[in-house]
Amino acid sequence: MFALLETVHALGLLSCFALLGTSRIGACIRWLSFQGILFGLVPLIVHQSGFGWRAGLLAAGNIALKGIAFPALLLRLRARADYNREVQPFVSFVMSILFGIFALGLSVWLTSEMKPALPQAPFVMLDSSIFLILVGLFLIISRRNALMQVIGYLVLENGIFVFGVITVVGTPLLVELGVLLDAFVGVFVMGIAIFHINREFGSIEVDRLSALKG
């Protein structure tokens, strides 16, 4: 189990760095899909002792939504907005990658501080969850393009999901599925918002929204 988790950890870190350093929106969406499937598998690995329908359902729901449904929705939006690459983010790609290294160090430190309070949580997964949350927040504030901000939101959601799976053992299934539903509605609403922004401003760069200030 531990070797599997380490592999998930390493691949997850790679996908985050790919998201931080890639300018093509299409490639970013595919990396996000990969990340969703990867971390959707975590419940199956962690709850190996009770490999029951509950973990299975949770994993299946996650993979279906974050691995397939959201990326498909985002790809449709990208095609409609005809927006292929983030041209000039607020923070350059090289600086974003350097931020990633800094965030990774920070998350390792935070994890080692938190570990005594959460003895049952595997270290690598705790580390991934904090790193995903940091990267997600960073993507939201550092990118000009509304699609990349949705991607950042979903990375953040992945982090919260992993954190929940490994730390809270007895969450009712209803709550976990409810969180998934929330994320689904959230992305749906964001999709509609992006569609309207694109129609109104002819672009999905959020900079343009400052024109609303009048």
Binding status of residue 122 toward other proteins by CB under 8 A: no
* Residues 115, 120, 124, 129, CA torsion sign: negative
**Would you state the structure tokens that stand for residue 149, as one six-digit string?**
């901000």
Region binding other proteins by CB under 8 A among candidate stretches 31-39, 60-68, 119-127, 190-198: 119-127
Residue 9's nearest CA partner among 163, 126, 113 is 126
101 is an interface residue for other proteins by CB under 8 A: yes
Task: Provide, rounded to whole angstroms, the least separation between the CB of residue 115 and other proteins.
Answer: 11
Contacting range for other proteins; rule: CB under 8 A; set: 25-33, 79-87, 98-106, 193-201: 98-106
Helix (H, G, I), strand (E, B) or coil at 146: helix
> In whole angstroms, how close is the CB of 158 to other proteins at the nearest point?
18
Phi, psi (rounded to 5 degrees) for 85: -145, 150
Stretch that binds other proteins, among 7-15, 40-48, 164-172, 181-189 (CB under 8 A): 7-15
Q: What is the phi-psi region of residue 143: left when phi exceeds 0, alpha when psi lies from -120 to 50, beta otherwise? A: beta
Q: Which helix (H) or strand (E) holds 79?
A: helix 70-81
Binding residues for other proteins, per CB under 8 A? 3, 6-7, 9-10, 13-14, 17, 21, 93-94, 97-98, 100-101, 104-105, 108, 123-124, 127
